[in-house]
Structure 1
Amino acid sequence: MTEPMNDRLKPMPEDWRRALADPDDLEYGCAAAVAAWTGGGREIAYVLATRGEAGIDSLEPDVCGPLREREQRASAAVVGVSTVEFLDHRDGVIEYGPALRRDIAAAIRRHRPELVITLNHCDTWGGVAWNTPDHVAVGRATPDAVADAGNRWIFPELAARGLEPWNGVRWVAVAGSSTPTHAVEAESGLDRAVRSLLEHRTYIEALTQEEPETYARSFLTSRAQAVGKHFGGKPAVAFELFGR
């Protein structure tokens, strides 16, 4: 991920109570913001497109999926999130299209958030670091699904299932953007963010030879400090914010 390009990041809006976060890899930055928000009494639900079953080369998907689901639920609990849902798209081969939009729109109608959080939908992280197809597909589908959630004539089968339209989303926040516009302080939630990432121990141990806590704390602290240079000098999490 690249350092934010804007010289000054604006504070994230605070006049909301419910959020829905649907990016993969929530713990690589977003968790500190989530911890700060839930600590202030806000409600946040996690909805993940996959169970991450293709994410560890040494584990078969039918073993890896349940393990990563358990780690994800434990990770969410550390930052005050009790609702974690999986949409059961296949890990690694998510396709942008009506099926993905419908599933995210259904989640938005279920949870009725004011803020929706997703991940960088661009081909790269702002330089030569290539993004993953799943991130691109989900990040691209989410703003479209926000509009779909408020339109009763798109996916009318959702209303037939009791999921009435919800047009109350006021913002979509994109994490991991190379052109962020806003930020939220991360200092109060940073320790919990580190513990949240550490709950993904199996994944981390497969990813790096570095000691897991050293890896998690170094990664999250350096990212928060880099954003903080553009946000009053305090550790922060950056977002590109789109109003509706």
Structure 2
Amino acid sequence: MLQTNEIERALVVMAHPDDVDFGAAGTVANLTDAGVDVTYCLVTDGQAGGFDRSIPRTEMATIRRAEQTEAAAEVGVTDLRFLGHMDGTVVADMQLRHDISVVIRQVRPQVVITQNPVRDLSSTYGSHPDHLATGEATMCAVYPDARNPFAFPESACAELDDWAVSEVWIPFRNSDDGSCAVVDITANLERKIRALMCHRSQHPDPAATEERMRMWWRSLAADRGLPAGSSAESFQVVDTR
């Protein structure tokens, strides 16, 4: 896993507003504290999310963009790119690969943080179809699309110089096979919590969500031998150089 002093720019590509805050906001805060420029790329506006049926879906999109912008600011991120694909219908097609490749070529990150492209049958929520499609399209954009100067001829992407990402970090992965890393987020736990709680439209019981998440992050730290009272996020690290 690249160290923060080896990273100038990082790009987070997620399907929905709030996905990054569940999975990686503590690590993002660590990065921005170290001077790394972090950009968020949200594939959808989260129109199909929430629990209040009285809110029109177009209004929900506006709400969730605002919530994600507020949450990003909590962890030092001000550059957000919204691709505008429809929540619940994301597929890893050439259009999405193109759109993500454009952002990669614009941002030129050493690290991309994105979702797991492989269905995990032990995690229904983690294997949301939009998450899987976003992870797959992002991996395709990292390799071969964004680094291939001949990809997407006569398109917006072709007007930008190609770029090779060094590593992809996939949140919620935790194993002892050497491909996974645990990041201590204890110093930035409260910022992560504040970012997560910015997504008010998604939390019918905010206190319960916060308690459950705090337990999860503490448990992960304990399982990987961090000092008592620590909190952590975990990632599978994919070398894409």
TM bin (shorter chain) = 0.7 to 0.9
Q: Which runs of 4+ in 1 moved over 4 A?
A: 158-161
Q: Structure 1 residue 56: deviation in Å?
A: 2.4
Q: Structure 1 residue 238: deviation in Å?
A: 0.3
Is 1:13 matched with 2:17? no
Is 1:194 matched with 2:188? no
What is the TM-score when the length of structure 2 is the normalising length? 0.87
Q: What's 2:36 paired with?
A: 42
**Unmatched runs of 5 consecutive residues or more in structure 2:** none
Bigger Cα displacement from structure 2, 157-166 vs 136-145: 157-166
Q: Structure 1 residue 219: deviation in Å?
A: 3.0
Q: Structure 1 residue 120: deviation in Å?
A: 2.0
SS of 1:22 mapped into structure 2: strand
Change (3 A) 1:188 1:151: same
Q: What's 1:27 paired with?
A: 21
SS of 2:20 mapped into structure 1: coil
Matches of 2:88 and 2:115, distance apart in 1: 15
Residue 3 of structure 2 aligns to which amino acid in structure 1? P
Residue 68 of structure 1 aligns to which amino acid in structure 2? R
| Paired residue total | 226
Summarize deviations over 1:139-159 as a string: whole Å, max 9, x none. Answer: 111111012101011112346
Q: What's 2:47 paired with?
A: 53
Residue 192 of structure 1 aligns to which amino acid in structure 2? R
Q: What's 1:5 paired with?
A: none
Residue 154 of structure 1 aligns to which amino acid in structure 2? A
Is 1:65 matched with 2:61? yes
Matches of 1:160 and 1:47, distance apart in 2: 16
Is 1:242 matched with 2:232? no
Q: Structure 1 residue 235: deviation in Å?
A: 1.7
What is the TM-score when the length of structure 1 is the normalising length? 0.86
Is 1:155 matched with 2:152? yes
Bigger Cα displacement from structure 2, 126-135 vs 26-35: 126-135
Q: Structure 1 residue 60: deviation in Å?
A: 2.0
Q: What's 1:181 paired with?
A: 180
SS of 2:44 mapped into structure 1: coil
Summarize deviations over 1:109-168 as a string: whole Å, max 9, x none. Answer: 0100000000122222x515351110010011111101210101111234676321112x
RMSD: 1.9
Q: Structure 1 residue 178: deviation in Å?
A: 5.2
- Higher relative contact order structure (alpha carbons within 8 Å, sequence separation ≥ 6): 1
Is 1:121 matched with 2:121? no
Residue 16 of structure 1 aligns to which amino acid in structure 2? I
Q: Is the 8 A contact 1:51 1:65 kept in 2?
A: yes
Identity of aligned residues (%): 31
Q: Is the 8 A contact 1:29 1:220 kept in 2?
A: no
**Unmatched runs of 5 consecutive residues or more in structure 1:** 1-10
Change (3 A) 1:128 1:78: closer
Bigger Cα displacement from structure 2, 157-166 vs 99-108: 157-166
Matches of 1:161 and 1:84, distance apart in 2: 22
SS of 2:39 mapped into structure 1: strand
Q: Structure 1 residue 89: deviation in Å?
A: 0.7
Matches of 2:238 and 2:157, distance apart in 1: 30
